């Protein structure tokens, strides 16, 4: 009887852990076309215009006001934090930064920000 009770309690404990563990969606890797579109947006002087302030591999006439966009996965292990920074979440805004809040001010759409982030995350 005690053995059956132990098995039952173990099964309940395991099922409770499984049920209480949140399920997180696994983000799919962006396609080559998405990354290329993100690069075009980032380099576009009328859209992302990232080169106005940042040095980016392959970009011409980069600025030096902001940090070079390199090793982005190391600098932002949480990709969503990078999206929020580009969007312009106030808590992530660096005081006295001249980087515009691209999403908050409607400069770029959420889709464009995600596409640019997909590209920048490959740097």
30-61: b (≥16 Cβ within 10 Å) or e: beeeebebbbebbbeeeebbbbebbebeeeee
Q: How far is 123 from 115, CA to CA, in rounded Å? A: 14
Cβ contacts of residue 105 below 8 Å, gap of 6+?
88
Which runs of consecutive H residues, i.e. helices, occur in 1-123? 2-20, 32-43, 72-75, 79-87, 110-120
Q: CATH number of the domain at 28-120, please?
A: 1.10.760.10
Residue 94 binned pLDDT confidence (cut-offs 50, 70, 90): confident
Domain boundaries, the chain: 28-120
The arithmetic mean of pLDDT across residues 33-57, rounded, is: 95
Using the predicted structure, report yes or no on whether residue 6 has a pLDDT greater than 80. no
What is the tens place of the pLDDT at every residue in 40-50? 999 999 998 99
Q: In the prediction, which pLDDT does 25 show?
A: 41
Q: In the prediction, which pLDDT does 18 show?
A: 39
For residue 86, report the phi and psi dihedrals to the nearest 5 degrees: -65, -40
The DSSP call for residue 104 is T
Residue 21 binned pLDDT confidence (cut-offs 50, 70, 90): very low
pTM: 0.74
């Amino acid at each position: 009887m005690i053995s059956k009770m132990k098995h039952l309690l173990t099964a309940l404990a395991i099922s409770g852990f499984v049920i209480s563990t949140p399920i997180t969606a696994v983000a799919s890797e962006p396609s080559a076309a998405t990354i290329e579109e993100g690069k075009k947006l980032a380099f576009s002087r009328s859209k992302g215009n990232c080169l106005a302030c940042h040095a980016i591999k392959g970009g011409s006439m980069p600025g030096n006001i902001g940090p070079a966009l390199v090793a982005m996965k190391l600098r932002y292990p949480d990709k969503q934090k990078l999206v929020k920074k580009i969007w312009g979440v106030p808590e992530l805004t660096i005081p006295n930064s001249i980087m515009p809040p691209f999403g908050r001010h409607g400069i770029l759409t959420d889709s464009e920000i995600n596409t640019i982030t997909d590209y920048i995350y490959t740097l």
